[in-house]
Amino acid sequence: MTAPDYDSVVIGAGFSGVYMTHKLREQGLTTKGFEAAPTVGGTWYWNIYPGARCDCISMEYAFTFDPEIIAEWEWTERYPAQPDILRYIEFVADKLDVKRHFSFNTRVVSAHFDDATGLWSVVTDTGETVTAKYLITAAGCLSTSSTPDFPGIGSFRGQTIHTSAWPREGIDFSGMRVGVIGTGSSGVQVIPKVADQAEHLTVFQRTPAFSLDCGNRPLTEDEKLDFKENIEEFKVLSRQSGSGQFTDTLEVNALDHTEEQRNAVYEERWNRHRAIDLIASYPDLFTDRAANDTIAEFFRGKIRDVVTDPELAEQLSPRDYPLGAKRITLDTGYFQTYNRDNVSLVSVKNAPIEAITPDGIKTADAEYALDAIVFATGFDAVTGPLLSIDIRGRDGQSLREAWADGPVTYLGVGVHGFPNLFTLTGPGSPNVLTNVVCAIEQHVEWTSEAIAHLEAVGATAFEPRESAAKEWTEQAIKLADGTLYPEGNSWYTGANIPGKPRVIMSYVGGLNLYREICDDVAAKGYEGFTIA
Ligand code: N01
């Protein structure tokens, strides 16, 4: 085998890239990392819109592999704000001393497998080319933003901003008429902040959100201490859970409780301010639409409690998809915002946005004059970041072609025809349906053990069998079909991107089960993979 420049290339310096690079170096492999941003952080570097905050509680959204990191880092709030998370990942990267392995401000444009040398050749937008035996994508699931291709979008005379590309110097909306398009997680967080500043805010809503008041507050000293003292127990509990967030589920179905009993359960859990506690209240909430309707109605009641105009409350109430089929959003004062005099809601469900004009937004019903438009319109999720790179495997086969009808992976981490490629949090793994930091730890550790095994046996190529990948992908889709996920037009299924194959991009069986399957595959000598 021709000697590569590096043993491995890691694409991306978010949570997964930082930890992966550390693991590879720990096992004595040379690693080169590339990152488009000027520093580490990934999605938490780019998403700096006002109000950006995680929807996992801080102590869960943190690495558990290093006792020193746990001992030395102190979270301050129950739900961490973006600047805190960015500081955290900077702290971790410095602590592990991994930044020196990365070229920052450098985007990978292509990665081609060379059949003759058995190496990956990676080319960047700065003109760098390196070869490596292993290619590890740590590109994140929500790093390719999506702005709908509205006619006239370039003609707007005011300012346009996507939430994930917020100017680092900030924006002062004082005195402006601002439009926000989108009411997903980003929208519900940015809307109250824009409303605080703008002269007038018009929210363009296509689908209302099930949103939970996150009840954010500073952590108490007792909570901080408790976490550090009981970290081992915490790790066990979170690893036993399907979502990487420990919760408790009643042993009775929702429909076997009376309405009064159910509402008491939901109320108690609402006050825990944690989405997982609500959606996991009863075992049938996510498999039975009638059961789901009970919790959906509970959420709608919360909207009616807050929004003073009943007609507006109804417009803001989700009715045509099950709770959880689109991600439950976490907010601070979102619904209260609609009680303000300077905020109006425009439903674009039946009267869609037809164009952006030089002066604002034109829907099928009316025109709205604006000085700035915020696109809180989301991402080409999970596959978008991988397919934005020209990745080619054996015989020059491109990943874009291989996945034209939807991604096909084995365990979400390997792709047939693409030897020695590891796709961290890739499609077909639990990725975004879990606390993603837990999912990342599992994927990084499994990948580094696989690579250690390959090095130990002197292997040159590691690749899933076609049948294993096909079977895994079919099973993952079948599993999702037994849930309510397919009933939501969400980015989980690619439904938010016109022309994208509509297929669930996550393994819905839970991180706990997934971990067992991956460990079993490894224990059986990487069953389903060919090792040459
Ligand atoms: O994106 P989204 P996001 N006309 O896709 C609307 C993570 N995240 O950036 O629902 C009109 O959820 C679209 O409408 P519809 C988190 O995992 C986490 O908000 O498609 N509207 C929707 O309302 C999250 O789930 C955090 O009908 C259009 C919105 O734009 C994920 O990122 C914070 C439209 C897009 O919502 C994505 O969230 C932020 C059109 N043509 C993000 N096209 C936290 O941790 C799209 N929309 C809290």
Mean pLDDT, the chain, integer:
97
> Mean pLDDT over residues 103-121, rounded?
98
207 lines ligand 1 (CB under 6 A): yes
Q: Which of 380, 287, 297 is nearest to 325 (CA)?
A: 287
* pLDDT tens digits, one per residue of 383-414: 999 999 999 999 999 999 999 999 999 999 99
331 lines ligand 1 (CB under 6 A): no
Query: By alpha-carbon position, which residue is closest to atom 24 of ligand 1?
Result: 185
Ligand 1 geometric centre to CA of 9 (Å): 31
183 lines ligand 1 (CB under 6 A): yes
Q: So what's the pLDDT on residue 43?
A: 98
141 by DSSP, 3-state: which? coil
- CA separation (Å) from 227 to 19, 66, 70, 120, 174? 21, 14, 9, 42, 42
- CA separation (Å) from 166 to 78, 114, 330? 24, 39, 20
* pLDDT tens digits, one per residue of 470-501: 999 999 999 999 999 999 999 999 999 999 99
Mutate to test the pocket of ligand 1, among 61, 206, 274, 332 (most ligand atoms within 8 A of CB): 206
> Mean pLDDT over residues 2-12, rounded?
96
* pLDDT tens digits, one per residue of 354-390: 999 999 999 999 999 999 999 999 999 999 999 999 9
Q: So what's the pLDDT on residue 239?
A: 87
Which residues are CB-contacts of 68 (< 8 A; sequence separation ≥ 6)?
95
Q: How many CB atoms lie within 10 A of CB 391?
A: 27
- SS3 letters across 395-449: HHCEHHHHCCCCCCCECCCECCCCCCEEECCCECECHHHCCHHHHHHHHHHHHHH
166 lines ligand 1 (CB under 6 A): no
383 lines ligand 1 (CB under 6 A): no
381 lines ligand 1 (CB under 6 A): no
DSSP letter string, 95-132: HHT-GGGEESS--EEEEEEETTTTEEEEEETTS-EEEE
Which residues are CB-contacts of 51 (< 8 A; sequence separation ≥ 6)?
189, 190, 192, 193, 332
Ligand 1 geometric centre to CA of 234 (Å): 31
Q: Which of 30, 6, 1 is nearest to 118 (CA)?
A: 1
Query: By alpha-carbon position, which residue is closest to atom 15 of ligand 1?
Result: 207
356 lines ligand 1 (CB under 6 A): no
DSSP code at position 256 = G
53 lines ligand 1 (CB under 6 A): yes
pLDDT higher than threshold 90 for residue 2: no
* pLDDT tens digits, one per residue of 143-185: 999 999 999 999 999 999 999 999 999 999 999 999 999 999 9
Is ipTM strictly over 0.95?
Answer: yes
24 lines ligand 1 (CB under 6 A): no
Which residue carries 């909430």 as its tokens?
Answer: 285
pLDDT higher than threshold 70 for residue 530: yes
Query: By alpha-carbon position, which residue is closest to atom 28 of ligand 1?
Result: 182
The one-letter amino acid code at 128 reads E
Which residues are CB-contacts of 87 (< 8 A; sequence separation ≥ 6)?
none
* pLDDT tens digits, one per residue of 513-524: 999 999 999 999
pLDDT category of residue 238 using cuts at 50, 70 and 90: confident
Q: Which of 194, 506, 505 is nearest to 376 (CA)?
A: 194
- CA separation (Å) from 438 to 40, 82, 498? 19, 18, 31
DSSP letter string, 179-191: EEE--SHHHHHHH
Helix axes 221-229, 231-240, angle to 10 degrees: 80
Position in ligand 1 atom list of the atom nearest CA 183: 23
Q: So what's the pLDDT on residue 359?
A: 98
Cβ pair 190, 333 in contact under 8 A: no
Position in ligand 1 atom list of the atom nearest CA 164: 9
pLDDT higher than threshold 70 for residue 1: no
Ligand 1 geometric centre to CA of 149 (Å): 15
